[in-house]
Amino acid sequence: MSSEEIDLHASLKKYFGFSQFKGLQEDVIKSIVEGKHTFVIMPTGGGKSLCYQLPALIQEGTAIVVSPLIALMKNQVDALRGISKENGIAHVLNSSLTKGEIKQVKEDISNGITKLLYVAPESLTKEEHVEFLRSQKISFVAIDEAHCISEWGHDFRPEYRNLRQIIKRIGDAIPIIAVTATATPKVQEDIMKNLGMTSEANSFKASFNRPNLYYEIRPKTKNVDADIIRFVKQNQGKSGIIYCLSRKRVEELAQVLQVNGVSAVPYHAGLDAKTRVKHQDMFLMEDVDVVVATIAFGMGIDKPDVRFVIHHDIPKSIESYYQETGRAGRDGGEGHCLAYYSYKDIEKLEKFMSGKPVAEQEIGHALLQEVVAYAETSMSRRKFILHYFGEEFDNETGEGGDLDDNVRNPKKKHEAQEDVVKLLEVVGKTGEIYKGKELVFTLVGKSNAIISSHKTDSDSYFGIGKSKEPSYWKALLRQVLVAGYLKKDIETYGVIKLTKKGKEFVSKPESFMMTEDHAFEEANDAPAER
Ligand code: ADP
């Protein structure tokens, strides 16, 4: 079917009551209707579900929607039933159904009534379901939360890895639509590779910039609680979320706030279900201003006027940080994102990973290093986050370009052209085999087992940067990475390579203004829990 044959706007109005498409929705829908493999990356709230729901409703046959969470499926199915009188329009197929119910669902599919069939990946592995679906007209398969395919995503699910084989068995030529709010280039690549999305697939990526959010990092000292109280009091009457890693800390901080006259409740997975619901509702209904929570709080919470999100402890990845801070300012109004940082917390997070399989540890370590770089950088935080998601951002022209602590209080800059050349040369001369740590060691003339095994410590350039501190080189390395002269190879967990731009810089150096990074004080705290 060609998209010109159907009036998408009329369908949007008819089924959803909206008069305009949001962002890239229309282009995505056209791609799906044309039967192309389609990859959609949009931040949370971007309107992803409509991208596959609308084409499913207007196309012949049934669309299969793979989703990891039964609760999410149920919400969507209920919402879809609300828009249509035909009860059969959306169905869930999962293990909680009785035999009779499953029979009914299958009948509705056969009769062409069901337009969307929501399934968990486990249900799709059932032979009887696959056999049945093979005999039906399937318009396309949408894979929601497609980042679950990647170990580099924040929610890896092994069942997702087999989806491609199963879809192939249901039908060889079924278009696949992968949808996610996780945008790192590595996850993106994993998804496309795993699903066999070739160069013919259409990719759509919305911007991840949240122009109304203000990003700030403060050093975490032992006075962190007092600092938080002061902040919350200055923002009295406004809604806010404070994230802590441990349940114990959640309880303590909630109490400290209460004692200091702030209306706050705790939220974590250790509380009984009734209390959790009660506290969540109190927050949503504005009976309290502040929720102190572990990361168990937030999924599916849609309070538009959260005015601040505080991280008492730094999260384990930039993605988690982005998701959690993303709960501020959904209505487009102000949203202050404040995180407390101390390197000790990073060491603690490293320690928690120590029992895990090696590959998982390597990934966890690489993700944590990005968090360290983000916290310690003195460049624009917005630019840093967007770079992490593979997006270039210009603070002069980009929306929200002045909204972060580093842009508001810039540190002094100095010309670092010569040092950039040194750094790039060391990367090239050592053969592009080292990660950041070994590069900095080589520059300052410090050896370790890896360096001596490559005999780098007897090379003439070993120690060419020893007049400067390791912290200086680390900072320069980060800035040079963001500027695009070097890149981190993710496959190898962070080996640093020269880019074309970097090679050009070495042969024809330009000005490079460097800012020195923050120096942070140390503090203490405890383990990660839900
Ligand atoms: P995501 O899955 O990307 O987080 P949703 O699909 O839940 O986002 O959509 C977010 C919100 O935007 C929902 O309330 C939805 O009804 C609304 N929405 C989606 N498309 C449109 C549109 N074209 N016009 C107005 N609102 C829309």
Nearest alpha-carbon partner for 524 in 231, 225, 166, 286: 225
Q: What is the pLDDT of residue 300?
A: 66
Span 444-468, pLDDT tens digits: 999 999 999 999 999 999 999 999 9
C-beta 204 within 6 A of ligand 1: no
Is pLDDT of 234 > 70? yes
CB contact at 8 A, 124 and 166: yes
pLDDT of residue 1: 54
Contact 498, 424 (CB under 8 A): yes
Give 265's strand partners.
291
Q: Mean pLDDT over residues 101-121, rounded?
A: 93
Distance 250 CA to ligand 1 centre (A): 32
Average pLDDT (213-227) is 95
Rounded to the nearest whole angstrom, what is the distance from the C-alpha of residue 323 to the centroid of ligand 1?
17
Q: Which atom of ligand 1 is nearest to the CA of 43?
A: 3
Compute the distance between CA of residue 446 and CA of residue 380 in angstroms, rounded to an integer. Answer: 31
For the residues 410-432, what does the mean pLDDT come to?
A: 94
Q: How confident is the model at residue 489 (pLDDT cuts 50, 70, 90)?
A: confident
Q: Which of 339-348, 374-383, 415-424 has the highest mean pLDDT?
A: 415-424
- Above 0.95 for ipTM, yes or no? yes
523 pLDDT exceeds 80? no
Structure confidence at residue 84 as a pLDDT band (50, 70, 90): low
Atom in ligand 1 nearest the alpha carbon of residue 48: 3
| Cα gap 194→514, rounded to integer Å | 40
CB 221 within 8 A of CB 180: no
Q: Which residue has the higher pLDDT, 530 or 475?
A: 475
Residue 522, pLDDT score? 41
Tell whether ligand 1 has an atom less than 6 A from the beta carbon of residue 22: yes
What pLDDT, on the 0 to 100 scale, is given for residue 83?
Answer: 67
- pLDDT-wise least confident of 85-99, 229-243, 252-266, 509-523: 509-523
Find out whether the beta carbon of 23 lies less than 6 Å from any atom of ligand 1. no
507 CA to centre of ligand 1 in angstroms: 49
Output the average pLDDT for the chain: 90
Residue 401 · residue 407 · CB < 8 Å: yes
How far is Cα 359 from Cα 186, in angstroms, rounded to an integer? 15
| Residues 6 or more apart whose Cβ sits within 8 Å of residue 21 | 8, 9, 12, 29
CB of residue 8 inside a 6 A radius of ligand 1: no
Candidate from 52-56, 81-85, 212-216, 242-246 with smallest mean pLDDT: 81-85
Q: Is the pLDDT of residue 34 over 90?
A: yes
What's the burial of 452, exposed, middle or buried (CB within 10 Å: 0-12/13-18/19+)? exposed
Encode pLDDT of 309-325 as tens digits: 999 999 999 999 999 99
Has residue 475 got a pLDDT over 60? yes
Share of the chain above pLDDT 90, in %: 69
- Counting from 1 in the atom list of ligand 1, the atom nearest the Cα of 42 is 3
Range scoring the smallest mean pLDDT among 46-55, 198-207, 414-423: 198-207
Burial of 396 (0-12, 13-18, 19+ CB in 10 A): exposed
Identify the residue with better confidence: 199 or 515. 515
Q: Is 11 in the pocket of ligand 1 (CB under 6 A)?
A: no
